[in-house]
Structure 1
Amino acid sequence: MNRKVIFLLLLNVVVGVLIVVSSHSWFTVWVGLELNTLSILCLLCYDFSPRNVESTVKYFLVQAFSAGIILNVALIQLRLYSSWSISNPLSYFGSVMLTLAISLKLGLFPCHFWFPDVIQGVGFLQGLLLSTWQKVAPFVILINVHSSINSFILISLGSVSVLIGGWGGLNQVQMRKIMAFSSISHIGWVCSVLSVSISTSCVMFIIYIILSSAMFLVNNEVNLYNLSILGRLVYYNPWVSILLILVVLSLGGLPPLTGFLSKFLALSCLLNSNLIFFSIILIFGSLLNLFFYLRIGFNSVLCLFPQHSMMLFTWRSVLVFGGKSSWSSMLLGILLSSSIFGLLSFPMFVSFI
């Protein structure tokens, strides 16, 4: 694909999200979502392999169905208030349907089934787009209508999503599926806190984007497609393996890393609102997540497996943090530094609350 075409598609993806963020009308929200979806479909099937095409078709069907639900909710609002304004309160039926549509776009329970399959069928960079940037627009819509959505339903869906994300990633050996279930779990944390504190939820979402981006870029740099390759990583580049385990432990929420800050702020808000039961569910789900995060760290640097010299041959063509610098290596360095030094970045994130 021509570079100019790729740049135009990426620009449309960004513009579509910006239209949703700056919109005060349901119709322009729908237009922004459709522009974003149609532009990213070409990026998902960039390699045009059968697996890429399958994932692209699945993503298109899910996004088209959720966008259709949002348009129907907008038409209901137009019938009730004779206005396209988002500020109008939602009816009970409209709030339930909109929650379903946003759950489909974010990958929340019970609409999470499509997300791991789609992430597994695309590359790491496309998975990075789906896991981070593509969740900005639904998250902004959820913020705009949070006062009209039942908070109990939202917290319940978020808590169950954390359990599903932890339980689903236990037996996975593919890194992309592990990252997909990790995304489901982290988005569950974000949505659980949204009904209690919008500012804390936004901070958690920013931290999630930083950590997930760092993990996807590390995997893309060294082609970590499954856990069996992790045993060879320490022989090839020990520094990358150390950085990988730090990012993984940060995703798991181990203090004093950055991932611990989001969970600490979330639990503080939930306990201050006397939501003790949901806090226990979220902690239990995080322990499940921490299990497969520790398994990644154990396989990458904490245990040295016996390796034959011929097994390292495929790593000779891989350059990680070597000679020449690129935009990906510079971005990766920034993300790694912000995801590791949690205590240093704590005042910056707390200032947003």
Structure 2
Amino acid sequence: MSPLATMIILSSLATGTIITMSSHHWMMAWIGLEMNTLAILPIISKQHHPRATEAATKYFLTQATASALILFSSSMNAWKTGTWDITQMTDPPANALLTSALAMKLGLAPVHFWLPEVLQGSTMKTALIISTWQKLAPMALIYLTMNNLSTFILLTMGTLSALLGGWTGLNQTQTRKIMAFSSIAHLGWMVTIATTLTNIMTMALIMYLLMTTSMFSALVLSKSKTIQDTTTSWTMSPTLTIMTMLTLLSLGGLPPLSGFLPKWLILQELITQNLIPMATAIALSTLLSLFFYLRLTYTTTLTTSPNTTQTKHKWRLKPTTPSLLFSTSIPLTMMALPLAPLLMN
């Protein structure tokens, strides 16, 4: 792809998200979402490969359906109330439809089936964009319409996503699919708390973006597409191996690292709201997610020299990919827990 085409596509991608996040009219929000979808399609399908074409087609059909449902729900609301304001969604059927549409946009269970397939058919960098930047616009719409969305649907989908994200990630061997199910589980946590405190949801989203960015950057640098590939990442950089381990443990939500912060605050708030069965269910689902994070940690870190592996070793060459993104996101992924008192106040 030429630099000019890449610049136009990436700027359209950024502009679409910004339009959606800053709009008050449903039509403008829909236009931003459509720009976003159309800009990412050539990025997904630029690899001239059947899997990339299939991933782009699946992504397009899912996002087009979700956008149509958003437009339909906002039209229903405008027909009943006479306003197109995003914050004035007061019609209950329109709200239920909007909740389902935003869940499809994000990839929440039970409408999550497209996300692992699309990520598996894309390159690592494209998978990073889909897992991070593409979540911003739908999450902004959830933030804006939270007072009117269907609480029951959101809580059900959030709990289902947390459980399914952990459960279905157990038997995966592809790192992109593991990150897809990790994304589903994390979004489940965010949506669960969105019904009560949107500021904790925002903090959880920021932490998720940082952790996912650093994890994908580590996978790009070590060229690890499967779990087996991670066993030879120490031949490239031992430091990268340790950073990958700490990022994975942070994604699992272990206490000294930053990933513990959103989980801690979300569980605390759910217990305060007397949603104890739900808090128990999503806390137990974290153990499932932690299992496949620890499996990746084991293959990445604990199979280092002098242990022998069954795969060919990678050449001891410096990574050619610029690591600025990784080096900027990794400190916050590991050391943001001291910020907890500021966030709790």
TM-score interval, smaller chain: over 0.9
Read off the aligned partner of 2:37 and give its amino acid letter. T
89-98 or 33-42: which moved more? 89-98
Read off the aligned partner of 2:275 and give its amino acid letter. L
Compute the displacement of 1:347 (Å). Answer: 4.8
2:309 equivalent in structure 1: 307
- Listed one character per residue, the Cα deviations across residues 206-227 of structure 1 (whole Å, up to 9, x for unaligned) are 0000000101111011111011
TM-score, normalised to structure 1's length?
A: 0.93
Read off the aligned partner of 2:131 and give its amino acid letter. S
Compute the displacement of 1:14 (Å). Answer: 0.6
Compute the displacement of 1:315 (Å). Answer: 3.3
Residue 148 of structure 1: SS of its match in structure 2?
A: coil
- Residues 340-351 of structure 1: pairs in structure 2 closer than 5 A: 340-347=334-341, 350=343
Compute the displacement of 1:89 (Å). Answer: 3.0
Structure 2 residues without counterparts, runs of 5 or longer: none
1:20 aligns with 2:14: no
1:174 equivalent in structure 2: 174
Compute the displacement of 1:345 (Å). Answer: 4.1
Q: Distance in 1 between matches of 2:271 and 2:194?
A: 14
1:45 equivalent in structure 2: 45
**CA RMSD, 1 decimal:** 1.6
1:338 equivalent in structure 2: 332
Read off the aligned partner of 1:109 and give its amino acid letter. A
Compute the displacement of 1:307 (Å). Answer: 3.4
- Residues 269-308 of structure 1: pairs in structure 2 closer than 5 A: 269-304=269-304, 305-307=307-309
1:67 equivalent in structure 2: 67
Q: Distance in 2 between matches of 1:347 and 1:45?
A: 44
Read off the aligned partner of 1:224 and give its amino acid letter. S
Read off the aligned partner of 1:262 and give its amino acid letter. P
Equivalenced residues, count: 343
Q: Distance in 2 between matches of 1:281 and 1:329?
A: 38
- Listed one character per residue, the Cα deviations across residues 278-305 of structure 1 (whole Å, up to 9, x for unaligned) are 1001101101000000001111112344
19-28 or 87-96: which moved more? 87-96
Residue 285 of structure 1: SS of its match in structure 2?
A: helix
Sequence identity, in percent? 35
Read off the aligned partner of 2:309 and give its amino acid letter. Q
Q: Distance in 2 between matches of 1:192 and 1:81?
A: 28
- Residues 214-293 of structure 1: pairs in structure 2 closer than 5 A: 214-293=214-293
Residue 165 of structure 2: SS of its match in structure 1?
A: helix
Q: Distance in 2 between matches of 1:337 and 1:73?
A: 42
Q: Distance in 2 between matches of 1:18 and 1:347?
A: 30
Residue 259 of structure 2: SS of its match in structure 1?
A: helix
1:112 equivalent in structure 2: 112
Compute the displacement of 1:269 (Å). Answer: 1.1
Is residue 256–residue 342 contact of structure 1 (8 Å, CA) maintained in 2? no
TM-score, normalised to structure 2's length?
A: 0.96
Is residue 303–residue 309 contact of structure 2 (8 Å, CA) maintained in 1? no
Compute the displacement of 1:85 (Å). Answer: 1.1
135-144 or 337-346: which moved more? 337-346
Q: Distance in 1 between matches of 2:336 and 2:82?
A: 49
Moved runs in structure 1, 4+ residues, more than 6 A? Answer: none
1:32 aligns with 2:4: no
Q: Distance in 2 between matches of 1:265 and 1:315?
A: 44
Compute the displacement of 1:36 (Å). Answer: 1.0
Residue 301 of structure 2: SS of its match in structure 1?
A: helix
- Residues 164-203 of structure 1: pairs in structure 2 closer than 5 A: 164-203=164-203
Read off the aligned partner of 1:329 and give its amino acid letter. S
Is residue 169–residue 178 contact of structure 2 (8 Å, CA) maintained in 1? yes
Is residue 230–residue 300 contact of structure 1 (8 Å, CA) maintained in 2? yes
1:132 equivalent in structure 2: 132
- Listed one character per residue, the Cα deviations across residues 73-122 of structure 1 (whole Å, up to 9, x for unaligned) are 12112211222111223322111111111111101011001100000000
Read off the aligned partner of 2:88 and give its amino acid letter. N
Q: Distance in 2 between matches of 1:240 and 1:89?
A: 47
Q: Distance in 2 between matches of 1:184 and 1:34?
A: 22
1:149 aligns with 2:143: no
Q: Distance in 1 between matches of 2:192 and 2:48?
A: 37
Is residue 86–residue 145 contact of structure 2 (8 Å, CA) maintained in 1? yes
1:209 aligns with 2:203: no
Read off the aligned partner of 1:32 and give its amino acid letter. G
Residue 87 of structure 1: SS of its match in structure 2?
A: helix
Compute the displacement of 1:274 (Å). Answer: 1.0
Compute the displacement of 1:159 (Å). Answer: 0.8
- Listed one character per residue, the Cα deviations across residues 34-73 of structure 1 (whole Å, up to 9, x for unaligned) are 1111111111112121111110000000000000001111
78-87 or 185-194: which moved more? 78-87
Relative to 1, partners in 2 of residues 1:159 and 1:315: Cα closer, same or farther, differing over 3 Å? farther
Compute the displacement of 1:343 (Å). Answer: 3.0
74-83 or 181-190: which moved more? 74-83
Read off the aligned partner of 1:25 and give its amino acid letter. H
